[in-house]
Amino acid sequence: MNDTIEKIKKLNLGKVEEKVSLKKYTTYCVGGIARAIVYPKNTTALVRLLKILRGDNIPFKILGNGSNLLFSDKPYEGVLIKLSEFNTMKYIGKKKVRVGAGYSLIKLSLQTAKKGLTGLEFASGIPGSVGGAVFMNAGAYKSDMGYVVQSVKVLTPELKVITLVNKEMDFHYRSSFLQSHPGFICLEAVIQLEIGKKDAIEEIIRERRARRMESQPLEYPSAGSVFRNPTDNFAGKLIEDVGLKGFQKGGAMVSDKHANFIINYKNATSSDIKYLIDMCHDKVLDEYGIDMKIEQEFVNWE
């Protein structure tokens, strides 16, 4: 592993951080120590990096803003790849924007709102990167990325750059082509919006922020909604109905403000959070026969 890291540094593929706490890189603010995080400076550097890691049999993972991941407390003996340098944004004509995978989704939503473009209001409170949002088909308020993404530039497992149009991305509720084909990496997306009234768009964003502040525990580290809402039901209500709202394990808690949030309220460990996720899932399954789908991805728990 040390030889691989030195090789990456010598090739000047991008910034390299070693032995970093994943608490800084996940919205839960938990996780063990990552052996290295690499920030490739462009697509060419990313391709060279992947060739090296594959050739040396080093495990790796693309890391966005860490808003939907739960790393274990143990060390991650591999390389995490952050596409923070893929952060350009450019308007195409009056209603489209081309944006890099590393760009903040919230920032994109606010900037397009200032331009009087409507369609991304739903994303103004989703703390992820554009790439992560495309991967997850992130959404809220009965809308999601599938409604606004026109096309996605991806790197294939064969390390070729291709473009997938909306239909090929196979967007469905919190899922996409990228989830079922994990070897593909989102590099950038073209977002199709519509011209609206700037004041009205910004008012919607303000109202929704106020609503989130009232109903969600935004003052604590979390990863947003833990479970997808089952058909014709709400995960938070189900968790509350089985008596787990406010339940604690170590420094983690099933939020007493919104039961579909698990919060790190006092130096929680990853194991504390996972315990609560599993407990909520299993108790709802036992009492109601509903197998709630977990939105977060568990990493390095093997």
Catalytic option among 17, 85, 295, 297: 295
* 295 labelled catalytic: yes
Give phi and psi for 232, each to the nearest 5. Answer: 60, 30
* 202 labelled catalytic: no
From the list 294, 221, 210, 209, the residue with the least C-alpha distance to 260 is: 294
- Cα–Cα distance, 36 to 38 (Å, whole number): 7
Kindly report the number of other CB atoms within 10 A of residue 198's CB atom.
14
Taking the alpha carbons of 99, 104, 105, 107 in that order, is the dihedral positive or negative?
A: negative
Catalytic option among 84, 121, 174, 255: 174
On whether the CB atoms of residues 60 and 82 are closer than 8 A, the answer is: no
On whether the CB atoms of residues 105 and 128 are closer than 8 A, the answer is: yes
Detail the DSSP E strand segments found in the chain: 14-21, 33-40, 60-63, 69-71, 76-82, 89-92, 96-100, 117-118, 139-140, 143-144, 149-155, 161-165, 185-192, 194-195, 248-249, 252-254, 262-264, 297-299
* 168 labelled catalytic: no
From the list 1, 32, 26, the residue with the least C-alpha distance to 16 is: 1
Catalytic option among 124, 129, 225, 255: 225
**Active-site residue set:** 174, 225, 295
